Amino acid sequence: MMTQLPAFAASPIVLDHPLIQHKLTHLRKAETSTAGFRRLVRELSLLMCYEATRDLPLEKVEITTPLEPTTGMQLAGPDVCFISILRAGNGLLDGMLDLVPFAPVGHIGLYRDPNTLEAVEYYLKLPTQIASRRCVVVDPMLATGHSAAAALTRLKQEGAKRLLFVCLLSTPQGIACLKEQHPDVPVITCAIDPTLDEHGYIRPGLGDAGDRLFSTK
């Protein structure tokens, strides 16, 4: 895995840890059940959160162990929040909140117009102090990049200054879209799949992440 999360990243950070790649392979399988899919997404999100929060600031704190006083390190203030792109982004929240249970959570609702493939916003609810927080934006798929770019643009309009985009799968097209529109936003992904089909689905991909998470069609 990566050793340091850069403040600026023109290229995506691809997490190639063996556990991540193993779980991603099972996530892709058509025969994986809804329960199994949810479990794997949760496990992957926990591992991804570990990397996404690698450079959170720390401060010294004086504590007492059962044996003696000592100095430890703790997170320096309420620095991070998670922003889910509805609806599939919610599948990534559970594992991340397992690691950072005190983090505020925001939601941005976007759907993809089936004809233009452009993102249309229908919901927005964000934590307070978004301008001073590290905003980890989560969505399982970075396909065309239109939804992710629209979400990041909207968050910047609301005052967000430190943004990070985290996804399970991405494509060269989606990465290029974010690089063009938001070159200041690092991208963390588990894999870069080679192409999109005519419907905007990632190939080979894993199907529709939202449908597989919530057992819908």
Instruction: Give the separation between CA 196 and CA 207, rounded to whole angstroms.
Output: 12
Residue ranges of domains in the chain, CATH in brackets: 13-214 (3.40.50.2020)
Q: Which amino acid does the sequence have at 21?
A: Q
pLDDT tens per residue, range 150-164? 999 999 999 999 999
pLDDT at position 209 is 93
Q: Catalytic residue numbers? A: 112, 116, 208, 211
Residues 187/9, Cβ–Cβ less than 8 Å: yes
Stated pTM of the model: 0.89
Instruction: Give the separation between CA 123 and CA 54, rounded to whole angstroms.
Output: 30
Q: Pick out the residues of the known binding site for 5-phospho-alpha-D-ribose 1-diphosphate.
A: 87, 112, 139-147, 208
Tokens of 80: 């991070």
pLDDT at position 10 is 53
Average pLDDT over residues 16-42: 96
Q: Pick out the residues of the known binding site.
A: 87, 112, 139-147, 202, 207-209
Q: Which amino acid does the sequence have at 100?
A: V
Q: Pick out the residues of the known binding site for uracil.
A: 202, 207-209
pLDDT tens per residue, range 107-125? 999 877 777 767 788 999 9
pLDDT tens per residue, range 40-91? 999 999 999 999 998 888 999 999 999 999 999 998 876 899 999 998 999 9
pLDDT at position 117 is 66
